[in-house]
Structure formats: structure tokens, C-alpha cells
Amino acid sequence: MEQVKTKRPRTDFFELFEAAAQNNVEAATVLNRLCGDFRDAEATVQRLHDHEHKGDDITHRMYESLHGVFMPPLDREDIIAIASRLDDVMDYIYEAGDAMAVYNVQAPTAVAASLAAIIVSCTEVVAAELPKLRQRRTMRGIEAGILELDRLEKEADAVLRAGVFDLFHCPHGPIQVIAWTRIYETMERVTDECEDIADVLRGVVIKHA
């Protein structure tokens, strides 16, 4: 009897992009909550770790699926770039929260709270723009989000500079200076990665829209 061949289910890369982006929004919200309530930092950091593992799983699925598809919906290098930067966003969110626990800071600063709020906004913009990749007619609408991510990254740069300036010009212990400098810089890297996603999206729009 002739064996029926079953087709492998087609991978929806857009669905995976959106899942990774939503996971980043949720993680950013947890980080923001940590910067407002530091009473149970270890448990909150563990939640960030869970999101980081989830992000790794989604990224692995994207890479694995890309190996098995003949004609992906976007250029392979663009899929890889979006996937890797979404993963980097998640990694830096977790790293920032974990550093607060590792360095045993007693309470988050106003600078950290400001950066956390910007991170939430950045991840929300990315999550809102990625679904527009599904159709060419919606791709051109991504430009507004790209500009917003650029604005948010510049805002984070200014907050970082003000925060580091305060650390080195006002009375702080050396351990505080070392700890918060690293934490601030890690948080600002999240916004850099989101802006990098915007750059990739701009390139995709130029190619396909």
C-alpha cells in the first residue's frame, strides 16, 4: 500500500517574531515593576529569567525553522537580524535586573526607573510594528514606529548621561558607582537594540514595500 506523505507544517516566522516581541514587553514590564518595588527582588529576577528562557526557545525555533524552509517570507539575513536583536533585547533586560540583585543594591534609583519606563515603551513600539511585516500594504506604516524608537533611544542616552554624571559628581560610594554605572549602561543597551531592530525594519520596508 502506498504510504501517504505528510507535509511539514509551514513555519509562521511572523508569529514567532510577534511572540518574541510580546515576551520582551512582558519582561520589560517586570523590570519596570522591579524598579518600583524592590522588596522581593530575587523572585522578580527569577521571573525575568523565565522570560529569558522563553525568548531563547523562540529564537531557537526561528533558526531551526529557517534551516528547513526553501523560500522564507523575508530575506534570510533579515530574519536572522530581527531574531537575534529581539533575543538581545531580552538578554539585556534580564541582565539589568539580575545585576540589581547580584550587586545587592538597596533600592532602585530614579534614573533606573526612568530607563525602565523607556524600555517598556521601546518594547511596546517594536511589538506594535512587527505585525505590519505580514502584508506589503501595511509595511509603509512602520516608519512612524521607526522614528519613535529613534526618539526613545535618544531619550535613554540623555537619561544615561545624566545618571552617570550624578554618580561621578555627587557623593556616592565606589561600589554604588560601579554597580549603577553597569546597570544604567545595560538598560540603555536595551534601547540601542530596539533601535537596531528599527534599522532592520527600515531596510525590509525599502526592499518589499
Per-residue model confidence as pLDDT tens digits over 44-54: 999 999 999 99
Question: Is there a domain that residue 1 lies in?
Answer: no
The pLDDT value recorded for residue 70 is 84
Question: Is there a domain that residue 2 lies in?
Answer: no
d(CA 82, CA 71): 17
Do 110 and 5 contact (CB within 8 A), yes or no?
no
Per-residue pLDDT at 11 exceeds 80: no
Tens digits of residue pLDDT in 98-144: 999 999 898 889 999 999 999 999 999 999 999 999 998 999 899 99
Segment 30-53 mean pLDDT: 95
Question: Is there a domain that residue 177 lies in?
Answer: yes
Question: Is there a domain that residue 5 lies in?
Answer: no
Question: Is there a domain that residue 123 lies in?
Answer: yes
Residues in contact with 137: Cβ distance below 8 Å, sequence separation at least 6, in sequence order: none
The pLDDT value recorded for residue 3 is 43
- Angstrom CA distances, 36 to 40, 116, 146, stand at 11, 10, 28
The pLDDT value recorded for residue 10 is 63
Question: Is there a domain that residue 8 lies in?
Answer: no
Domain span at residue 169? 13-129+137-208
| Secondary structure letter of residue 39 according to DSSP | T
Question: Is there a domain that residue 21 lies in?
Answer: yes
CATH code of 25's domain: 1.20.58.220
Per-residue pLDDT at 9 exceeds 80: no
Per-residue pLDDT at 189 exceeds 70: yes
* Cell 529576577, located at residue: 45
d(CA 189, CA 184): 9
Indicate the burial class of 39 (C-beta count within 10 angstroms; 0-12, 13-18, 19 or more).
exposed
Structural domain count of the chain: 1
Question: Is there a domain that residue 114 lies in?
Answer: yes
Name the range with the highest mean pLDDT among 11-15, 102-106, 139-143, 185-189.
Answer: 185-189
- 4 confidence band (pLDDT: 50, 70, 90): very low
